[in-house]
Structure 1
Amino acid sequence: MQDIAYCPALFLSAMASGQGKTTVTAALARYHRRQGRRVVVFKTGPDYLDPQILALASNAPVEPLDLWMAGDAFCREQLYRAALEADLILIEGAMGLHDGTPSSADLAVAFDIPVACVINARGMAQTVAAIGLGLARYRPEMTFHGLVANALGSERHRQLIEDSLPNDVQLLAAMPREEHLALPSRHLGLVQPGEQDDPDNLSLEARLDAAADLLEGQKLTELPPAVAFKPQNIDTPPQALSGQRIGVAEDAAFSFIYAANTRLLEAMGAELCRFSPLHDATLPDNLDALWLPGGYPELHAAALGTNHGMCKAIRDLDARGLPILAECGGMLYLQQTLTDQHGTCHPMAGVLPGHGEMRTKRGCQGMQSAPLPEGEIRGHAHHHSRSHDTLAPIAHGRRASHPAPGEAIFRRGRLTASYLHLFFPSNPEAIAALLGAEETTRSLEQAVRGPHVR
């Protein structure tokens, strides 16, 4: 394996959330893909929805990069592997450039990747230059590549902004105000690609192509400088799940799945058996464990609750004492009822006590780790619901940057449930103990460790 891989790379951030950075990143990925280049896109921070859009735009899987949740070594190895095969690496940031600890700027500085910032210029002109200048100079050690002015009303609007910029801050692109190209969103973020093809609107593919067309001839489409990426050899995970068949719920209701999680399970020897709680009448045969990830069960509550065969199959598996991990939407599904956004109460699988209710305004998000008996696993919370009349929690999540207790963690036998979404590579041994056979769990619990990849 070579020591250094070189690849053009660009970090696309913004002055704040809601500036259009996903649209710009997707448009740029689609533009270069149409030029015949292999584009690899990463998304900063915990996110299941933006990566689905970016994967469609680039025609390649999109991985998370986060210095706290995944760790420096994981991020370094992912970037290195991408550089070995890509013609261009794009990274979409989270929130504003300097928001959070660690921030998007921290990640860009750590790997010396030039940054382009998107600013929604609606309602301002020369002030865009002032904001851009502040973003460019706030972290002198960060390489600032330039600005993308979004939602412009006219050519004159663009000219006012460009004329106000200092010579060393370039305007990379000016995106006109095109409301019909905006990506639709709802309570947890962007609408998933498979749900966006409204016959009264442009298809998602057509939106991506139209957005890419708007970049034609602009500086943003020029390949950025090549960045040197060094390898980080991560320990081979233990083969602690060899021969285990793990059922993984995956459909429109349960889609919040990091590819890094499934890769790790397979690397530890597990056979993954995907199934649909929405459409399948029962579970796959001969399962040894079950993983119910998050998603949008509230949008499909009626269908989930009336699929009595699947609900019974999960109750039977739980009664046999097999390991079950239920994250966020998976936990809501296992409870007794779920009240959707319209106030309709639906019966759920009834494996756990508890009643879930969607909330229209308040939610919870942020980085947390789960202090489980098997070991501490890093992850995050992101939900707009609450649960009541549940089991007594065995622990609460530990927030990354706040002393208040995080999400409740429930345990009954081998069933573990919480609002937390876990990032499995942060502690492979703990995941193996959580989902493995009892003898695996006993042996691994003798060597409980902290996060594995730091």
Structure 2
Amino acid sequence: MAGAVQCPALFVAAPASGQGKTTVTAALARLHTRLGRRVRVFKCGPDFLDPQIHAVASGAPVHNVDLGMCGETDIAWRLHAAARECDLILVEGVMGLYDGAPSGADIARRFGIPVMAVIDARAMAQTFGAVAYGLAHYLPGLPFAGVLANHVGSARHAEMLRASLPEGMRWFGAVMRDADAALPERHLGLMQADEITDLGERLDLLADHLQATGAAELPPAVEFPSVSAPAVPPLLGGKHIAIARDAAYGFIYPANVDTLLALGAELAFFSPLAGETLPARCDAVWLPGGYPELHGERLAANTRFWASLRAHVAAGRPVLAECGGLMSLLETVVDKAGAAHGFGGLLPGRAVMQKRLAALGMQQVDLPQGRITGHTFHYSKTETPLAPWLHAQRPEGGEGEAIYRCGSITASYVHFWFPSNPLVAAGLFGG
């Protein structure tokens, strides 16, 4: 086990969602990568979309860090491993700096990572300084580094913002408004990285804006104590797992893939959206979440895939279907426009897209092999005569999402975090 290592690190936070944390983090990653530095980015919370952007910006996998879902030890060994191999660690916060229990601020404090607050300054002047002061002093012991003004209108505007800061607070600079550099969004957040055809150009434009602020300077080094990665037994040795991965099924944590590999599984990715079917050798299937409702016609038309999946289930082989994967196994999915699409029909019922968010929050599930954590975030509601096999629980108490078990199928709106219990993850795939 290697000893403690030091690495420059910065925690990118904000007073609320929508301030520009993701664009600034991605721009920083792109800027330092262009300078020849090895950058590793982490994302607070259970987000799938922001990490895809950061992976393109940094050229490296992006892992989630959340004290509730992942746990302190998981975060500690991932940060230590990253610090051993890179020149800069960036951690993007979630929502506002102090939102949630635990919050992004709790992570910054626990690991001693200096916080740079990104504040959208479009509709403020001197109040900018008051917001910055509040962020810096609300929680004692927070390693607050300074502020960056985003969406600034002019050089004069930037100067007013800078002058409003309390004495001694670092000014990281101002990023001017630029609609051409904005990252496109839809109902669950940013669009997936593969769907943004000019993502590289947008990231370079964002990096150019940041370079003008002096952001090319590395932040101070942080010491990351030595923590070993957990030992994982090869419970899935010799198992071949097929994983759907495309624009319809893109919500996959890289850490989940790493866990399956550590368990000894052989993985094969395929695209139902591209007309592909299950691989010839397939002991288990994972249908992750995503946007199947946006691709109803094309998915419904891939009859070879649905036939191969039905044959797989008829043979008693495991299927794990999460969120969009659950929707896909139902008979019908009704999209936001009200159009109904015939899907897998392996489970009775239908999923209907709602105008508002249907569920959001952390989940924990007690399965026969033990407890596994995860989260839920969806705009659809499922109507099914199936009785739940069991229910997830909310960490703060109360009943969570239904977990369905139908033959060899395990289906739920919960997105599981496999590293929280590799033994449970193995069991979901027949290990």
Matched, 1:296 2:291: yes
Change in 2 beyond 3 A, CA 1:281/1:111 = closer
Deviation at 1:229, TM superposition (A): 0.5
Matched, 1:376 2:371: yes
Q: Which digits, 9 at most, give the CA deviation of each residue in 1:397-419, with x for residues without a partner?
A: 21123x33111111112211000
Matched, 1:22 2:38: no
Query: Aligned to 1:220, what secondary structure does the other structure show?
Result: coil
Partners of 2:410 and 2:239 lie apart in 1 by: 18
TM-score by length of 1: 0.93
Deviation at 1:79, TM superposition (A): 0.5
Decide which moves more: 46-55 or 403-412.
403-412
Q: Residue 153 of structure 1 aligns with which residue?
A: 153
Query: Aligned to 1:315, what secondary structure does the other structure show?
Result: helix
Contact map agreement 1:136 1:169 (CA 8 A) in 2: no
Of 373, 381, 395, the match for 1:400: 395
Of 310, 314, 318, the match for 2:313: 318
Contact map agreement 2:175 2:213 (CA 8 A) in 1: no
Partners of 2:212 and 2:272 lie apart in 1 by: 47
Partners of 1:276 and 1:285 lie apart in 2 by: 14
Deviation at 1:367, TM superposition (A): 0.8
TM-score by length of 2: 0.98
Decide which moves more: 21-30 or 406-415.
406-415
1:276-425 superposed matches below 5 A: 276-401=271-396, 403-425=397-419
Partners of 1:131 and 1:72 lie apart in 2 by: 29
Query: Aligned to 1:55, what secondary structure does the other structure show?
Result: helix
Deviation at 1:161, TM superposition (A): 1.1
Q: Residue 421 of structure 2 aligns with which residue?
A: 427
Contact map agreement 1:97 1:104 (CA 8 A) in 2: yes
Deviation at 1:363, TM superposition (A): 2.6
Amino acid at match of 1:432: A
Deviation at 1:241, TM superposition (A): 0.8
Matched, 1:192 2:186: no
Amino acid at match of 1:399: R
Q: Residue 253 of structure 2 aligns with which residue?
A: 258
Partners of 2:91 and 2:423 lie apart in 1 by: 29
Q: Which digits, 9 at most, give the CA deviation of each residue in 1:9-28, with x for residues without a partner?
A: 00001000000110111111
Matched, 1:175 2:175: yes
Deviation at 1:168, TM superposition (A): 2.0
Partners of 2:391 and 2:29 lie apart in 1 by: 40
Q: Residue 54 of structure 2 aligns with which residue?
A: 54
Q: Which digits, 9 at most, give the CA deviation of each residue in 1:339-397, with x for residues without a partner?
A: 11111000001111120111122331111112223322100001111110241112222
How many residues align structurally? Answer: 431
Contact map agreement 2:270 2:276 (CA 8 A) in 1: no
Partners of 2:369 and 2:309 lie apart in 1 by: 23
Q: Which digits, 9 at most, give the CA deviation of each residue in 1:179-231, with x for residues without a partner?
A: 2211110011101122122xxxxx22111111111122424332111000112
Deviation at 1:30, TM superposition (A): 0.9
Query: Aligned to 2:277, what secondary structure does the other structure show?
Result: coil
- Counting aligned pairs with the same residue, the percent is 51
1:37-76 superposed matches below 5 A: 37-76=37-76
Matched, 1:245 2:232: no
Matched, 1:223 2:230: no
Partners of 1:255 and 1:235 lie apart in 2 by: 26
Partners of 1:148 and 1:400 lie apart in 2 by: 34
1:71-90 superposed matches below 5 A: 71-90=71-90
Amino acid at match of 2:224: F
Partners of 2:278 and 2:10 lie apart in 1 by: 43
Contact map agreement 1:9 1:88 (CA 8 A) in 2: yes
Query: Aligned to 1:23, what secondary structure does the other structure show?
Result: helix
Structure 1 gaps of 5+ residues are 198-202, 441-454
Partners of 1:293 and 1:252 lie apart in 2 by: 11
Partners of 2:276 and 2:93 lie apart in 1 by: 40
Structure 2 gaps of 5+ residues are none
Query: Aligned to 1:291, what secondary structure does the other structure show?
Result: strand
Q: Residue 13 of structure 2 aligns with which residue?
A: 13
Partners of 2:185 and 2:48 lie apart in 1 by: 13
Change in 2 beyond 3 A, CA 1:321/1:433 = same
Partners of 1:143 and 1:221 lie apart in 2 by: 20
Query: Aligned to 1:321, what secondary structure does the other structure show?
Result: coil
1:83-102 superposed matches below 5 A: 83-102=83-102
Amino acid at match of 1:242: G
Deviation at 1:281, TM superposition (A): 4.5
Change in 2 beyond 3 A, CA 1:282/1:212 = closer
Decide which moves more: 217-226 or 88-97.
217-226
1:431-446 superposed matches below 5 A: 431-436=425-430, 440=431
Query: Aligned to 1:432, what secondary structure does the other structure show?
Result: helix
Partners of 1:414 and 1:233 lie apart in 2 by: 35
Query: Aligned to 1:30, what secondary structure does the other structure show?
Result: helix
Of 264, 273, 280, the match for 1:269: 264
Q: Residue 137 of structure 1 aligns with which residue?
A: 137
Query: Aligned to 2:22, what secondary structure does the other structure show?
Result: helix
